[in-house]
Amino acid sequence: MRCNDGAVDAAGRFWVGTMNDPKVQAPTSEGVLFRLDPDLTLHRMIEKASIPNGMGWTADNKKMYFIDSPTKSIFVFDYELASGAISNRRVFFHLADDEQGVPDGFAVDSAGNLWTAICGGGKVLKLSPEGRIVGEITLPTRMISCPGFAGEDLFITSAEEEEPEKYPDSVKYGGSVFRVRVGVSGKPQHRFRRT
């Protein structure tokens, strides 16, 4: 098992997903989303995940987003900031089954839109707070992994092309970081607060 993605909530709790290391064995539903509280107690929040990826919260801290990439879905939960409890899991966005790629990391902007990388699809989708596609950034490599804000620029990471013979055009820019001016800033990030 290895850690894959993590984020800190507004109360200073660290959330991190674990998964099978694909260099050892193919990912299975053994993954877990953990929550590490400031007093260093560890909680298993979601079990039976395959590739836990992006996680984040709405500006009012009433909802939490979570991606399990093989499902092609971004899930949303009701979120209780005081306790860190999540409930009422439902699909916020599902990438069509006939579309290439899966949702990967994401960032939330100051207007409440969610920008998600589509790994294997060569793009970042901008989703409205209602889960509708309202924008798209196309990139010159397929393996887009995570966007992040710096001012009004969106920095977008990518991974090495996994199928270079099948997708030779994707190889040149695989592993690159891209910068795109998007005209909106990101939601403030939080730090772990150890007590």
* Strands 14-19 and 2-8, sheet pairing: antiparallel
Quote the radius of gyration of the chain (alpha carbons, Å).
Answer: 16
Tokens 């795109």 correspond to: 180
Tokens 């953990």 correspond to: 34
109 catalytic per annotation: no
**70 vs 30: CA distance, rounded Å:** 13
Give the angle subtended at the CA of 13 by the CAs of 7 and 17, to the nearest 5°. 45
Residue of 104, 109, 153, 169 marked catalytic: 104
Q: In terms of C-beta density within 10 A (0-12 exposed, 13-18 middle, 19 or more buried), how is residue 33 classed?
A: buried
Q: Phi and psi at residue 168, in whole multiples of 5°? A: -65, -30
**Do 48 and 75 touch, CB atoms closer than 8 A?**
no
CA distances from 90 to 54, 78, 93, 157, 187 (A): 16, 9, 9, 28, 23
What positions carry a catalytic annotation? 104
